[in-house]
A and B are shown apart, each in its own frame.
Chain A
């Protein structure tokens, strides 16, 4: 990086946990219900009600925190965070303040394209809290009443706060992708950003190189980013904006109040929002209605052993066992456990991890997309595809014809052998191939002269002629023979 500054980014992620009911009452959390049909006296904050913690929500939070390598508190409690907003009916949010159930973890990120070195992003804490409702403002006049839907109120949220360890927008995006992948593998959230199951706020500032050393610029919080791409763009925009503000004002961290800005994905800019209230204004205090939660070593060990293989371990295993590159293991693992299972079965069958990886990434993934099916429901099983790949390995068919056979197998449901037979595909005998090669060399003296004159690509013309005479020839082997025979002339 040539700029005289370092970008410092920390991310706060809120994920809705995949429970059936809310955090402190048994109202459904199902998305998309008619407004205000999933509320009860507890979640709309009627006096005299008593919240009770959802066991599943705590279990899902624990699972995630352990997968994020967090230290788990043996004793944790919940606090009231007081603020007034129409979508917060109680006038406070039940959250965790000084004794979160987990802290001090980390997540490894890397870039398969190598734009940054693999690194470890620290996790400050992950805590369990309740979601607020939704406000719909009158966008047109800004005059009419706002509409409030409290269905979402009380939905369990896991807030995951990273250390300010990211040094570029690309790293921020990679962190989010890796976190989402982990949450998806754990099955703790559907991570649907459109439905608000995963929300991201970013804190960003610069460390500027000056003659007196590094100077930090004021931290800005950025909200309203509705996709990982938007986060990346907003961070790119903010870094440049911070640099311009710094050059203009020289303002340092602590000299101005923390600013909150909203990302406008259409205009591709951020805009200033209300100033964030000081955290002391939330007047946190322990919620007297909720009792603390104690977690034992035995419970932690049980959760740990139930985690299964996580994405990072899976990528390492695929690379080591099947000899594929980080880029390829990343594509496979990012597509989900189902595709990895399909790949592993295929690679084991054909004994060639790279060949299997090419076919799964291209032909299989494309077909799954077209058919909109999960790998487990895909009609062509690894065994059937394996037969086709084995035919390629034996030289019975070349790759481009195999792709045609694959399409026919998908369309007809027939086996590789049957499709190849129906299309008259069979391995051409080596002696037959040599005879064809000699025949064409004799008939094309000009092309032979071109090849001898230092244009080996002219052999392509002969391959084309040979394919017309016998579509079953292996073009790779044929090219070798042309070069060999011309060389002997």
Chain B
């Protein structure tokens, strides 16, 4: 079963800062979600080939031909911060 420590680790990897109360609530919810999915493990799959993909389709390619990109204004439109040229993000430390 998922522990509070597991949820703490996942929230760190997802760069989510949770309060102790949120962490408590999330742990309970995630235990439920993962538990629900785990019901699948009860199925007998010994004779079933593992699948890499849900569709029986392969080799879908596109030709290497340039199409127009987004205007920069549109690309930057949803960014919390930008200077009309670049996305701006808080300085990344440790690099």
Q: What residues of chain A have their CB less than 8 Å away from a CB belonging to chain B?
A: 19-21, 26-28, 34-41, 44, 52-58, 75, 77, 82-86, 99, 135-138, 142-150, 273-274, 281, 283, 286, 288, 291-294
Please name all residues of chain B whose beta carbon is closer than 8 Å to the beta carbon of A137 when the two chains form the complex. 91-92, 95
Given contacts A36-B75, A146-B91, A291-B57, 9 further A-B contacts (CB under 8 A): A41-B70, A52-B60, A54-B62, A55-B64, A99-B52, A137-B91, A145-B89, A286-B52, A292-B52
Distance between Cα atoms of A20 and B67 in the complex (Å): 10
Distance between Cα atoms of A42 and B25 in the complex (Å): 34
Name, among B70, B81, B87, B88, the residue most crowded by chain A CB atoms within 10 Å (CB to CB): B87
Q: Which of B39-81 contact A (CB under 8 A)?
A: 52-55, 57-67, 69-70, 72, 75-76, 81
- B-side interface residues, number (CB < 8 Å): 35
Indicate if the CB atoms of B85 and A135 lie closer than 8 Å. Answer: no
12 contacting pairs across A/B (C-beta < 8 A): A34-B85, A35-B85, A37-B72, A39-B75, A57-B64, A145-B90, A145-B91, A146-B88, A150-B75, A273-B95, A291-B58, A293-B58
The listed residue (A52, A83, A142, A292) touching B91 by CB distance below 8 A is: A142
Name, among A44, A57, A144, A281, the residue most crowded by chain B CB atoms within 10 Å (CB to CB): A44
Indicate if the CB atoms of A20 and B52 lie closer than 8 Å. Answer: no
| Whole-angstrom distance between the Cβ of A293 and the nearest chain B Cβ | 5
Q: Which of B16-37 contact A (CB under 8 A)?
A: none
The listed residue (B54, B61, B87, B89) touching A54 by CB distance below 8 A is: B61
Whether a CB of chain A sits under 8 angstroms from the CB of B13 is: yes
The listed residue (A26, A58, A86) touching B66 by CB distance below 8 A is: A26
Indicate if the CB atoms of A39 and B69 lie closer than 8 Å. Answer: yes
Please name all residues of chain B whose beta carbon is closer than 8 Å to the beta carbon of A34 when the two chains form the complex. 72, 85
Distance between Cα atoms of A408 and B91 in the complex (Å): 60
Indicate if the CB atoms of A52 and B61 lie closer than 8 Å. Answer: yes
Distance between Cα atoms of A273 and B94 in the complex (Å): 7
Please name all residues of chain B whose beta carbon is closer than 8 Å to the beta carbon of A57 when the two chains form the complex. 64
Indicate if the CB atoms of A148 and B69 lie closer than 8 Å. Answer: no
Distance between Cα atoms of A245 and B72 in the complex (Å): 50
Indicate if the CB atoms of B91 and A53 lie closer than 8 Å. Answer: no
Write the chain B residue with the least CB distance to A89: B87
Indicate if the CB atoms of A26 and B65 lie closer than 8 Å. Answer: yes
| Whole-angstrom distance between the Cβ of B15 and the nearest chain A Cβ | 5
The listed residue (A26, A143, A148, A149) touching B67 by CB distance below 8 A is: A26
Name, among B53, B55, B65, B94, the residue most crowded by chain A CB atoms within 10 Å (CB to CB): B53
Write the chain A residue with the least CB distance to B10: A283
Distance between Cα atoms of A145 and B86 in the complex (Å): 10
Indicate if the CB atoms of B72 and A36 lie closer than 8 Å. Answer: yes
Whether a CB of chain A sits under 8 angstroms from the CB of B83 is: yes
Name, among B52, B54, B64, B92, the residue most crowded by chain A CB atoms within 10 Å (CB to CB): B64
Please name all residues of chain B whose beta carbon is closer than 8 Å to the beta carbon of A40 when the two chains form the complex. 69-70, 75
Write the chain A residue with the least CB distance to B56: A291
Indicate if the CB atoms of A148 and B85 lie closer than 8 Å. Answer: no
Indicate if the CB atoms of A150 and B87 lie closer than 8 Å. Answer: yes
Please name all residues of chain A whose beta carbon is closer than 8 Å to the beta carbon of B62 when the two chains form the complex. 26, 52-55
| Whole-angstrom distance between the Cβ of B6 and the nearest chain A Cβ | 12
Whether a CB of chain A sits under 8 angstroms from the CB of B1 is: no
The listed residue (B54, B59, B92) touching A135 by CB distance below 8 A is: B92
Write the chain A residue with the least CB distance to B84: A36
Please name all residues of chain B whose beta carbon is closer than 8 Å to the beta carbon of A148 when the two chains form the complex. 86-89
Distance between Cα atoms of A146 and B3 in the complex (Å): 36
Write the chain B residue with the least CB distance to A26: B67
Indicate if the CB atoms of B59 and A291 lie closer than 8 Å. Answer: yes
Please name all residues of chain B whose beta carbon is closer than 8 Å to the beta carbon of A147 when the two chains form the complex. 83, 85-88
Please name all residues of chain A whose beta carbon is closer than 8 Å to the beta carbon of B83 when the two chains form the complex. 147
Whether a CB of chain A sits under 8 angstroms from the CB of B14 is: yes
| Whole-angstrom distance between the Cβ of B18 and the nearest chain A Cβ | 15
| Whole-angstrom distance between the Cβ of A44 and the nearest chain B Cβ | 6
Please name all residues of chain A whose beta carbon is closer than 8 Å to the beta carbon of B72 when the two chains form the complex. 34-37
The listed residue (B13, B53, B57, B69) touching A38 by CB distance below 8 A is: B69
Write the chain A residue with the least CB distance to B63: A55
Distance between Cα atoms of A83 and B12 in the complex (Å): 11
Distance between Cα atoms of A281 and B86 in the complex (Å): 29
The listed residue (B13, B63, B64, B92) touching A86 by CB distance below 8 A is: B92
Indicate if the CB atoms of B66 and A21 lie closer than 8 Å. Answer: yes
Write the chain B residue with the least CB distance to A30: B66
Distance between Cα atoms of A83 and B95 in the complex (Å): 15
Indicate if the CB atoms of B53 and A291 lie closer than 8 Å. Answer: yes
Write the chain A residue with the least CB distance to B60: A291
Distance between Cα atoms of A317 and B94 in the complex (Å): 51
Please name all residues of chain A whose beta carbon is closer than 8 Å to the beta carbon of B75 when the two chains form the complex. 36, 39-40, 44, 150
Write the chain A residue with the least CB distance to B13: A281
